[in-house]
Chain A
Amino acid sequence: MAESEFDTIAAISTAPGEGGIGIVRMSGARAGEILARVFVRPLTAVHNETFPDRAMVYGHVVDPGSGEVVDEVLAVLMRGPGSYTGEDVCEIQCHGGTVPLRRILEICYREGAAPAAPGEFTKRAFLNGRIDLVQAGAVADLIRAGTERSYRAARAQAEGRLSARIREARELLLSALAEAVARMDYPEAFEDEGKSLSFSGLSRESRKIVDELLASVEEGRLVRDGLRVCIVGAPNVGKSSLFNALARENAAIVTAVPGTTRDALEIWLNVRGMPVMLVDTAGIREAAGEIEALGIEKSRERMAAADVLLFVLDGSRPITDEDRAVAADLDAGKRTFLVLNKQDLPQAVSPEEARALAPHAGAVISLSAAGADSGRQDAAPTTTTVGDGLARPATPDDAAGVRALEEALVRVAGEGAPAAGGGALVTRAWQAELLARAAAELDEAEEIFAHGDAPEFAEVNLRAAYEALGELIGETYTDDILDRVFSDFCVGK
């Protein structure tokens, strides 16, 4: 949460899970500066000072850390005091769906924005005299309601594994802090003054838990936001059949639309309650045709953005050079399933041969996706409609095979399988942000321990980490450190 009313805050301001466009909004003195750092405009340099006021500007959000293009966006900067909140406000309109939104928000946090508290934009608008409420109480109620919502959320989580793990980490930190404080303020009570300190060990233990929880951030995001699944493979292996088979089995949440960049087909599916964004790259290489290189590039971008790849092979024909070319393009770090399609035909590829092509793949799923496959749809993805408009296959899908694939996807999202963090999941960006803050503080503490010359500096970091974790579970009371000092250590004159 924002540490004070003076931070620049950021949040996603569109409702979650919907398609179309999404908006990340920032407000505060640094909004323009942060925008200038993450926004790249074709052919024109972007500066906070020269950014046009109240005009939509086309460009891309680029991760300043990695240089990676996150999304193509429209950005608008509305300088205060005439803006909604009265402060400098910027809005970044990106593609709908949670992945780009979340990435952009994370980048804004990293560049210095703080997560907005519930109702905070409204609060600032009021404070700066931008909205006129007849009763002051209305905004107060708004804030109160927001707080109570988060309180209820915190309480609900307290019953879960996340809170339990965070409490464990805090407990370790509390012991570490108590020792640090006792050593600082009662040096004579420690007969080993100057010798090695056990609080560094305790701090490392708690860092392990924070790391575990941070590792679960991705899993948690999958649970809440759903999976981005990308179908890849050589032409005519049955990618579109698989796409259609999965779409038929699962009610589409959003009607499929031509890919937002007009070269891939996307559809939101509801796979056993889990949102899945299915992307068929079928059209990319084939449709790009005349500009083959561009097609490959687009295909790679799609793969990079996906959580899971479905690498489709035609089981009825021997592995081709094209298959090998696709395999060579796969990111070995990405979760990948091999789909051996066309099981209804005599098989020419064994699962072992398939696996040899992509050794990092998690499972080989054999199925036969029925339907008028190949060229026609692959070649014209932009005209395809799904949902009610789906072409019915002449033969039924291989239900068992599709189900096996769905189960594999659900497992990936952490349902039913032990996830990182001992089953605890971090599902929200602000939770991840607080964990990252705690981790950064503990890193700094670790560095100080390594130097070993000023443990009281580390105490500052330990306390900050302790408070960040406390904020995660709604506990920020800090007098407990002194209580612990006096109960654990025999200090005094």
Chain B
Amino acid sequence: MCDFDVIVIGAGHAGCEAALAAARLGRSVLLLTMQLESVAMMPCNPSIGGTGKGQLVKEIDALGGEMGLLIDRCFIQSRMLNRSKGPAVHSPRAQADKARYREEMLRVLEGQAGLTLRCAEVVDLLLRGGDETPSEARSANAVPTASEARSVCGVKLAGGEEVFAGAVVVATGTYLNGLVHISDRARASGPAGLSASVAFAENLKRRGFALRRFKTGTPARVLFSSLDTSVMTEQRGDEPVEPFSFLNEGKDIGGNRASCWLTYTNEAGHRIVRENIEKTAPYGGHTTGTGPRYCLSIEDKVSRFPERGRHQVFLEPEGLSTEDVYVQGMSTSLPEEIQERFYRSIDGMADAKLSKYGYSIEYDCIDPLTLLPSLESRAVRGLFFAGQVNGTSGYEEAAAQGLVAGVNAARFLGGLEPYVPDRSEAYIGVLIDDLVTKGTEEPYRIMTSRAEFRLVLRQDNADLRLTAAGHALGLASEERLRRCEAKRAAVAALLAGGAEAEARFVRLLSGRHAACSARSTPQAEETRKTKGVFAEQRLLAEFPELGPAVLRQVEIERKYAGYIEKQRRQVEKFRKMEARRLPEDLDYAAMDGLRIEARQKLAAQRPASLGAASRISGVSPADISVLIVYLAQRERKQRSANI
């Protein structure tokens, strides 16, 4: 007898999206957090979006997730990065009011039917089936046979209470065995001084999950009133603000409410860092975790790029109700007094008051190669992992995985095939495929350069790509679908109708008030039913604010038609390889034609398709040829056996 359908462990960005998605699919969900302060907290930079990440947020939104809608309510500044470049890398980013973001998420969670939020520490998983006794020899990486397959049936809380559920999503972020370093001192802690989850990490290990150590870092916060912004460059947001959520497309969601500031380090400051670098954990030889290369601490920057006389410092306010300012680019684990000296050496920061010190944090995470593309564990049925615990970094990456894990936990309980977008459909697909087929040796960050089909995976068309899927899953609302399909039809009609149709549309757009008033007339109804032909009128009658978005789609599709067409052909090829499924029970070890390395990698990872197999490092094109031969041989044997 289950208490809940789904239990989600951790209420960060992954956990919140997972819990909301599962609840919205009609499941009863228990969302557990060790402390309410952790809910949707942004322990590092106060922004949502950025290159690649902005695309993820738009996709989460198109599928019916929460992040886009929330940031549209809580932003204090918004910019489109890469505006000087082409539309494929235009990436929205917004500075968030951290406190408000958290409060708004709490409100959404509390208002969600079927979702229970509770403060409690999980110390263990409840498993059943197979060999339940913990064993050192048993590895979570090993694929269990059907008879010994274990499944999850709940969690055990600190204090001994057991809560039962059919599926569990682990979204523990950086809390698992968290260890915070400042200088050469380390203490067990989650981010921002919150408590770490130690017992759960130990029990996961005991149950055979191979854990590894990653680390990340954050800079100090300084008080805005202590900064001399007169020597800095003001960085304003874009006007008008472009919303993240497609539901807000064309709507006025308010303007920018704060500026960021650009200043620079100097040689004097670099000297302070160099002279004290041995006092930090990484350079003093204390940290054991692997840090991301794209998130260099000031210690790394100074030692790896000694020729640079200065580095950029972006000062980003953390909200309207706080004086805290995030010192972007300056993460550090120097001793507190050295941090103060260093930050005060930065131009315009001579009197800086530090409200929080920078630190680096190391934590346990799993190897994502042990996951299926659904984010379900290969070793334990019904157990899903999402977010930083999978070795990623970033709120957006976490939220994207949370959404997918939540959806698939619900589908698992309903006996449905998991939802897994592929690399040609979404950045979410790129993220998940990279994780479960290539793995990662450092905290993984999405990038536009990781998406080989980025010309078709744009932030501006995430709705056109994913809304239908989101609606089919049961997440994206009717309104989302209607808006999206109206937009799609209008774009298609304009593209087919050429410049003439476009001119007519622009005229319609300028007279859209008239169109608005005609909205409820029987003629408008009739128009709505006539598919395609009057798509532009229909769109403007129903969603007059979508006009500019349609024109932008048309402009992009026209201007870059050649490139987009080329990429669509590449996508077709890609899909054919993805469609070749690899049976679960293939005995790779017995395939003599494969090189040893390929045999081992394939046996360990069991890729779902030929396409996925070809992306595993260590599997060569020749190995893929051999695999094709074995598959054909096998199919023929089965056919003849059936006759």
Contacts and interface: CB of A to CB of B under 8 A. Distances in A.
Given A6-B573, A187-B51, A490-B301, A457 B308 contact: no
Contact of B630 (A140, A181, A482): A140
Contacts of A463: 452
B629 A453 contact: no
B286 interface: no
Contacts of A3: 573
Contact of B85 (A123, A456, A486): A456
Contacts of A123: 625, 628-629
B629 A493 contact: no
A456 B86 contact: yes
Contacts of B573: 3-4, 6
A140 B593 contact: yes
A126 B629 contact: yes
A188 B625 CA distance: 43
A136 to B, nearest CB: 4
Nearest to B454: A456
Given A140-B630, A184-B85, A493-B295, A459 B449 contact: yes
A319 interface: no
Interface in B31-85: 44-45, 51-52, 81-82, 84-85
Contacts of A193: 84
B449 A6 contact: no
Contacts of A492: 292-296, 301, 329
SS of A interface (majority) = helix
Interface in A180-202: 181, 183-189, 191, 193-194
A281 B82 CA distance: 65
B275 interface: no
B294 A143 contact: no
Interface string B544-571: 0000000000000000100100010000
Contacts of A186: 51, 294
A370 to B, nearest CB: 57
Given A143-B593, A486-B293, A492-B296, A457 B563 contact: yes
A188 B312 contact: yes
A24 to B, nearest CB: 23
Interface in A274-314: none
B295 A185 contact: no
A490 B308 contact: yes
Interface string B565-590: 00100000100110000000000000
B98 to A, nearest CB: 16
B593 A137 contact: yes
Given A6-B573, A123-B628, A139-B629, A490 B305 contact: yes
A461 to B, nearest CB: 9
Interface in A1-60: 1, 3-6
B608 interface: no
A141 B591 CA distance: 11
A457 B560 contact: yes
B107 interface: no
Given A453-B86, A454-B560, A191 B312 contact: yes
B473 to A, nearest CB: 30
Given A143-B593, A185-B449, A490-B305, A460 B567 contact: yes
Contacts of B296: 490-492
Interface in B179-227: none
A31 to B, nearest CB: 18
Given A6-B576, A188-B314, A493-B329, A127 B629 contact: yes
Interface in B589-643: 591-593, 617, 620-622, 625-626, 628-630, 632-633, 636
A187 B305 contact: no
Nearest to A476: B621
14 contacts: A137-B592, A139-B629, A140-B591, A141-B593, A144-B593, A147-B622, A183-B85, A184-B85, A185-B449, A454-B563, A456-B86, A479-B617, A492-B292, A492-B301
Given A1-B621, A457-B563, A490-B304, 19 more contacts: A3-B573, A4-B573, A127-B628, A129-B636, A140-B591, A140-B630, A143-B625, A183-B85, A184-B85, A184-B89, A184-B447, A185-B52, A185-B448, A191-B312, A454-B87, A454-B563, A456-B85, A456-B86, A491-B294
Interface of A: 1, 3-6, 117, 123, 126-127, 129, 136-137, 139-141, 143-144, 147, 181, 183-189, 191, 193-194, 453-457, 459-460, 463, 476-477, 479, 481-482, 485-486, 490-493
6 nearest CB pairs, A to B: A454-B86, A140-B593, A136-B633, A194-B84, A486-B293, A147-B622
